[in-house]
Structure 1
Amino acid sequence: MNHQLMSWLTSMPIAHRGLYDEENAIPENSMTAFEKAIEHNYAIELDVYVTLSHEVVVFHDPTLRRMCGVDKRVESLTKENLARYQLLRTGERIPLLKDVLRLVRGRVPLLIEIKRQPWIKNANMVILNTLLGYKGEMAVQSFDPFVLGWFARKGPMVTRGQLASDFRSEKMHWLLKYLLCNLKLNFISKPHFLAYDAKALPKRHIERRRKKNGMIVLGWTVADQAELNRIKPHCDNIIFERFRPG
């Protein structure tokens, strides 16, 4: 896990939650979606939460409602509880991060989004301990500068990316929105790269960071070739879904 070796961040398109295809019963953040990404030589973006039993699971939403049809919070359940539920009634289950690491085995890079979980004690440490010893290329990213700041202090060998957007549709205090949109808290997160909402690109301050500071910028989440063509001059790589980048 050497953050100086980041060439994959600009050379391989990154499949958002794996190469999922709901029409063909391949749900997001599933083992099959990850296998499909590996088959097509795409890097993999995935999301993690820490459960009540301090296991790291691969799942995007704070609740199981959308993917499993159950109105329960991920962090309120144990891995045994979670194992009961299928992803979109496909027979696929919510994977453990350690099982995904075994599946991937360094065949493609991993980009791991970490959620803010203030109610789970030592959540970041649980995630870091799960990643320690993994030999493949990987990086973490988060919208929360304080999550990344923790990794800067406790796991400085892990490559860090600051996720951001213009947050126009988000309900938050205007000052917080300004700080996050304009990356004013990067002195806390100390990111090695940025992942910015493709719909909000281009932005002058992002262009300035790319050109003057050599900061790597990923655009997320690109859903078709037309959007890719539009933002290609404004980012170094994409996180994509629902199409195959050409």
Structure 2
Amino acid sequence: MRAHNDAEAGESLVRSRQRVIEHGEVFTPRWLVRDMVDLVVDEATRADARFLEPACGSGNFLVEVLERRLDAMRGRYRCSPFEHRHASLLGLMCLYGIELLPDNVAECRANLLDVFRAGLGLGPDDEWARAARTVLAANIVQGDALKMQTVDGRPIEFAEWAYLGRGKFQRRDFAYKDLTQRSLAGGTLFDQFDEDELFAPVRSHPVMTVGDLAAMGEERSVTAPVTASDRTSPACTSATAAESGR
């Protein structure tokens, strides 16, 4: 376990005594977050490895994973800005959180967005930043992980995002309850059934681009052209194909 510096030693782990009493809210120190993520470093640096934090607070664990993931994507796709950005967005798409308190939900989304923007050098109104906001609105849910419900009593749903290559993403929504039941079915007689019999999405969405994601919730559609610098060079073809599934 690595030593932590003086600044981290003095970080506040509680917002108020009242919140500790009412919600049991105590934040994990950054040094411990890093040590825990070190245990799953291979998954943390894979764009398509999914992480769910069922009591995400302000996003300490998710931020640490995203920072490592963006660093990995920067090195892996240094020859292709186009694939670098899409792989980085996929890395964000595969991070999920559930949090009961609304201020923590807002802070978690903001923290992840700040890391994503900094990693890609984006302005606040950049199309990619707006696409990231759409993703975070779907992936960071206000609700109760134990009851598997949102604060207004609806079943929690999560979006499964997949990168299809060539700048296109697929989204399917699944009920959190079904996801947990499926994980319990592994290694049992349920293995004899096809996945579709046990694991059906509650809805599927049309294939979408970053422009489509950025335009969600807006009145207008935004589409960004692909420039010559976005095209993949031969030196990066194998890495690009492996990440995009082509």
Q: TM-score, normalised by structure 2?
A: 0.33
Higher helix share: 2
- Whose Rg is larger? 2
Higher strand share: 1
Q: TM-score, normalised by structure 1?
A: 0.33
